[in-house]
Amino acid sequence: MTPGHEEVGSAPGRGRTDLSQAPCLNCGDPRQGAFCPRCGQRKAQVLGSVRQLMQEVVADQFNLDGRLPRTLMSLFFRPGRLTREYLEGRVAPYVRPFRLYLFSSILFFILLGALGLQGLNELSLAPEGRAGSPASEMGEPEAGEPQMAETETAPVQWGWGPDADIRINTGSSFLDSLLRERLDRLTRLEPVEALQEVVRVLLRYVPTLLFLLLPVFAGLFALLYVRQRRFYLEHFIFVLHIHAFLFSVFSFLLVMSALGQEWLVGPLQLGIWIYLFLALRRVYGQSRRKTAVKLILISLAYLMILSSALPPFLVISFLFGG
């Protein structure tokens, strides 16, 4: 462990069930009581359970006061600080991790839906995007375009338009019927309208997938840092903060791209990697070499997990989500 990056797994008072007699973990006030008479923080076990973490969401809904600016400053400009503060018991000055994640993810998907669908609407109004134009005649290749050979063994074969011939053979009559119904509904729409419908399905269900994968990502950190003997919830808190940061940056990128400032994409991508490296260093306190290697491993594993889970999840959502 490098100097200045001490372990945070040994927060004072951890493991106690009754902290009313202990000094406040946030401000250090020595007076006794269930709540700190100085800063008002409840004297309770911070790393109790996932259930306790979920209950914080309800408790925080209507009480932000000045915590949001302080939280955002730490989140954006001091990588890993929010996690360190939370694990060391300094909870009261900041927005709780779960609420921060929910706020940032909801904001991102609202912006993605609004700006993404707006772009598709503009495409549908353009001459090349209207039905009947050469570019939109799906299934009829333009002059000079090579014809695709028909394959009778393909599980799904379909054209475009209300009279399209849809042939499906997945091996299951139930899935065949369900797929035929869904595809028939799409082919009755204009191409851009069908794409809009697909985007709506994505926006409806991808947030759920990412939420369900949070425990998996936390387990990945627990596996890579198993020698530090940390609680699983410590990794989960870090994952929440990292995702909150990423959703916030992606939201900013969406707005900037809509304003024609696409040049920011490259610098911000580099900034994300630097941020993740510094956050790992601050929270887990390992050397630069180990941190860099684990950042690469985590990134590759993250992409593998997401790419493996996304296709089947979207197919199920498309079939059964309406």
pTM strictly above 0.75: no
At 254 the pLDDT is 86
Q: For residues 155-172, b (16+ Cβ closer than 10 Å) or e, as one string?
A: eeebebbeebebebeeee
Amino acid identity for residue 37 in this structure: P
Please give the radius of gyration of the chain, using alpha carbons only, rounded to the nearest integer.
25
CA 260 centroid distance within chain: 25
Residue 97 has pLDDT above 70, yes or no: yes
Average pLDDT over residues 263-279: 92
* DSSP H or E run through 224: helix 191-224
Tokens representing 24 are 């406040």
Residue 54 has pLDDT above 70, yes or no: no
At 40 the pLDDT is 72
At 235 the pLDDT is 95
Residue 19 has pLDDT above 50, yes or no: yes
Residue 207 has pLDDT above 50, yes or no: yes
Report the share of the chain in percent with pLDDT over 90. 32
Residue 208 has pLDDT above 90, yes or no: no
**For residue 151, what are the CA distances in angstroms to 8, 154, 157, 158, 213?**
59, 6, 8, 12, 37
| Strand, coil or helix: 298 | helix
Tokens representing 72 are 């955002």
- CB 174 within 8 Å of CB 163: no
Instruction: Give the up-direction half-sphere exposure of residue 33: CA atoms within 13 A in the CB hemisphere.
Output: 12
Q: What tens digit of pLDDT does each residue of 65-81 get? A: 578 888 999 999 999 99
Residue 104 has pLDDT above 90, yes or no: yes
Average pLDDT over residues 32-38: 79
